Amino acid sequence: MRQTPLNERYWLSSREAADYFGIGEKKLRRLAENNLYHGFAVYNGNRYMIIRKKLEEFLESAESI
């Protein structure tokens, strides 16, 4: 089975996103909880799924503040 590289995936788990962006997993979960209206996180069952491209856009906009 072929694994898709993280930079090509649409959805990332919170652990994968933390590794990809170099953010602590706990911090990423807090960002997801507090910023659900930004659209980069979806709560699915008992976990947050991160939309990689939207989180990239959110982090880029946060850097300019």
DSSP label at 44? Answer: E
CB under 8 Å to 11, separation ≥6 — which residues?
A: 49, 50, 51, 52
CA distance 38 to 32: 9
- Which has the closest alpha carbon to 55: 10, 8, 25? 10
pLDDT tens for residues 7-65?
889 999 999 999 999 999 999 989 888 877 778 898 888 888 999 999 999 888 877 65
pTM: 0.80
